[in-house]
Amino acid sequence: MTDLQSFELSGIARPVNVTAMLDEICEHFVEHAEVTRQEDKAVLSSSHARIELLPKPDHLEIRLACGSDEELESTRTMFAEHLYYFAGEEPFSLDWSKPAPKVQPANLQEAFVVSTAQVTPRMLRVTLSVEDVTPFVDGDIHVRLLVPPHGRAPVWPTLRADGRIDWPKGEDKLLVRIYTIRSVDAAQGQITIDFFQHPAEGVSTPGADFARDAIAGTRVAIIGPGGGSLPEAGKILFAGDESALPAIARMIEEASPGTQITAIIEVENKAEEQTIVSHADFSIEWLHRGSYAEGTKNQLAERAKAAIDRMPADSYVWFAAEKAAMRSVKAHLASRGHDRKRQYVAWYWEEGKHADE
């Protein structure tokens, strides 16, 4: 990789509480980067970026270093959005040594629908043609899908001076959702994304509606990839529901021979099971939600926790599902003292709000 020191930026963040903000940053990124914490500095390191954080009495000094200008801009945007999210409703400001230019995000590119295909009764696959498939071939597997309003020419977002994305508003407001790249066809310059079709009437599902109504030539945009990749571990537990199935399936299929994988996947019924082929040594337990006894709750989380108890301590645990289930599994891992660097535990939807809202 290009020398990280070749492309650098510095910034000043002013949160209400510097220590609390730094704690939040380190707690969050420990599952996504190598985090080292000292009294006077914290460092977040990954294969493509290094972020140094130096706490001062009334501000947080930031130093970014990446291997390319594009990676530097993408990292700045990602980090700026996280900082404002952590700040919540509290007063917060962020200034950079060089303000972000008012251009489209460096990792945004247009895409066009090629085709759609029914994978299972409730899972629809959309194939997209992209201008540059290279960023999607290896590494991170999540992207933001941007869909313009029907019948309007798309207006794509630009960057604010602080690095955050400035989204179009009003009649140009975009549908923005995070999805997993299910597969990549480098030769054809295409990627596929799977969309779960929620069966309940009256539930707002704009992302699923886009997939259902998409026709060849439909114009969209992709920002990414970012976040999520196959864990580097010899023993892995994957657990999740339909919202996590595309990610789990892709990672199992990409696992190397000799990797030992246990997967627990919750779907509605047998018709929603998918065929997964891999060179890894893997087994899958399919849970059918439709066959649960009335009043049964947290079956996926309970099965996942039981599997965690049976696995060696150095195993990697990957879990994604409903918010309450995530919290239950996360608390269980904490009670066992499981290494935070050997887990990814996330919520992809919340009870009472469909994952696609």
Quote the pLDDT of residue 341. Answer: 87
The residues near 245 (Cβ < 8 Å, ≥ 6 apart) are 123, 194, 196, 265, 267, 274
pLDDT per residue of the chain (357 residues) written in tens, 0 to 9: 345 556 899 999 999 999 999 999 998 888 778 899 988 999 999 878 999 999 999 999 999 999 899 889 999 999 999 999 999 999 999 999 999 999 999 899 999 999 999 999 999 999 999 999 999 988 789 999 999 998 899 999 999 999 999 999 999 999 999 999 999 999 999 999 999 987 665 567 888 999 999 999 999 999 999 877 889 899 999 999 999 999 999 999 999 999 999 999 999 999 999 999 999 999 999 999 999 998 888 899 999 999 999 999 999 999 999 999 999 999 999 999 999 889 999 988 887 664 444
Q: Name the β-bridge partners of 86.
A: none
What is the spatial distance between Cα 227 and Cα 206, in angstroms, rounded to a whole number?
23
pTM: 0.87
What is the spatial distance between Cα 118 and Cα 217, in angstroms, rounded to a whole number?
18
Structural domains of the chain in order of their starting residue, each with its CATH number: 5-94 (3.30.310.50), 106-224 (2.40.30.10), 233-347 (3.40.50.80)
* 3-state SS, residue 163: coil
Give the amino acid at 260. Q
Quote the pLDDT of residue 357. Answer: 40
Helical segments of the chain, H only: 18-29, 69-87, 134-137, 206-213, 245-254, 299-310, 323-335
> Would you say 140 and 227 are in contact if contact means Cβ atoms under 8 Å apart?
yes
